Amino acid sequence: MANIDSKFIINLKGKEFVTYEGLLDLAHQKGLIGLEVEIVQIPSKENEMTAICKATAKTKDEVYTDIGDANPQSVNKNIAPHLIRMASTRAKARALRDLTNIGMTALEELAESDDVIGSNSNNKSKTVDDMELKCSRCGVEIAQGVAAYSKKNFGRKLCMSCQKEYKKAN
């Protein structure tokens, strides 16, 4: 039976969220053979810049489909230029939650970390720090995938440039 690793569960203000990375890991344990995304709506002024994507997750025996949306009001300002990608990630997370029978909300489905953490939060736990997507060396903002890869391979969050420098030095 497939189990989700606790490192993929994030606790924010007493509420647990699963990461997209964790859902994908669990889906592979369950035999994921396909994960496809279709853009349903491209952001435009007429639809208040709302992107909508549909994702389908498949195993040998099961197929799950769901949608995800993103607009400037539902993402933080750093993600706003990437609405289609965020809608895609949210759709995939929702389809994977169904496939893996995970009832908790995916971290990527949240509008902003402030929605859960609170803008004046003094909570500096590891889980909150992990949400900050900045290079620990130079401070540049980095994508979630880059942060996850770097944390796994270098033990800290590094942008791609700092990862290259780190590899050269070591």
- Let me know if residue 126 belongs to a domain: no
Quote the CA–CA distance of 5 and 10 in Å, as a whole number: 11
Domain that holds residue 147: 132-170
Mean pLDDT for 72-79 is 86
Here the contacts of 116-120 (C-beta below 8 Å, separation 24 or greater) are 116/12, 116/13, 116/15, 116/17, 117/12, 117/13, 118/13
* pLDDT tens, position by position, 15-37: 888 999 999 999 999 999 999 99
Mean pLDDT for 87-100 is 96
Hey, what amino acid is at 170? N
Q: Are 108 and 89 in contact (CB under 8 A)?
A: yes
Rounded to two decimals, the pTM is: 0.66
**Residues 67 and 39 occupy one common structural domain:** yes
- Let me know if residue 163 belongs to a domain: yes
Number of structural domains (the chain) is 2
Q: Are 53 and 40 in contact (CB under 8 A)?
A: yes
Quote the CA–CA distance of 90 and 92 in Å, as a whole number: 5
CATH number of the domain encompassing residue 54: 3.30.160
Residue 121: pLDDT above 50?
no
